Amino acid sequence: MRTLTLPERVVATPTSLEEGQLRRTKSQPLVATGTHVDSNISLYHLCYEGRPQASVFCYPSTVSLDSGKITGLDSKFTNPRLIISRKVDNTSPDDVYSGLLRAIPPLLSFMDHRYTFCGAQVHEHSFLSGWSDYIRDAITHLKT
């Protein structure tokens, strides 16, 4: 007859609450926190539902946005063509757009959208297409 062997009984050693929390914390992946400080501002000429417009995109500098990705944000965007793109250091996307509005009075966007792309917020602001040159010049000389 065969004998059955049982595995040894493992007794856990008691740990303090702090040690247990430290183990759980160390096993968690690191996550960046805080406010993003570098931004990009890009001006595109595109069509939205077949109507031409100038669209200003403000987004964190960690996001790579190009014409192909813009059509992925919203299927109503077609034929995007980059006019100008610029990185602005030490400024959030909202502050970059506020600076642009100060540079282009009395223009205001007629529609604003917020999209989530790669875990970040991408802000799109729509203007009439006839204002593209004016907005391009403002972005070129933008001071925040």
Closest among 38, 37, 115 to 69, alpha carbons compared: 115
- How far, rounded to the nearest angstrom, does the alpha carbon of residue 17 sit from its chain's CA centroid? 38
Domain containing 75: what range? 39-140
Q: H/E element holding 124? A: strand 120-128
Residue 96 lies in a domain: yes
Residue 52 lies in a domain: yes
What pLDDT was estimated at residue 13? 58
Q: Judge whether residue 129 has pLDDT over 50.
A: yes
Instruction: List, for residues 40-99, the tens digit of each pLDDT value.
Output: 999 999 999 999 999 999 999 999 999 999 999 999 999 999 999 999 999 999 999 999
How far apart are the C-alpha atoms of 49 and 130, rounded to whole Å?
17
What stretches of the chain show up as alpha helix (H) in DSSP?
17-27, 67-73, 93-103, 132-140
Domain assignment present for residue 75? The answer is yes
Q: What is the mean pLDDT of the chain?
A: 84
Question: Token digits for 108?
Answer: 């205001």
Place of tokens 């609450």: 17
Q: Give residue for tokens 């702090």.
A: 18
The residue-averaged pLDDT of 13-32 equals 52
User: Residue 87 domain-assigned?
Assistant: yes
Residues 83/18, Cβ–Cβ less than 8 Å: no
Asked whether residue 20 carries a pLDDT value surpassing 90, the answer given is: no
Question: Rounded to a whole number, what is the largest CA-CA distance in the chain?
Answer: 96
Does residue 23 register a pLDDT over 90?
A: no
- Quote the CA–CA distance of 87 and 96 in Å, as a whole number: 10
Question: Span 96-103, mean pLDDT?
Answer: 94
Position 125 in a domain = yes
Q: What's the predicted TM-score (pTM) here?
A: 0.74
Instruction: Tell me what pLDDT residue 8 has.
Output: 63
Q: What is the pLDDT averaged over residues 108-113? A: 93
In a domain, 89, yes or no: yes
- Could you tell me if residue 21 is inside a domain? no
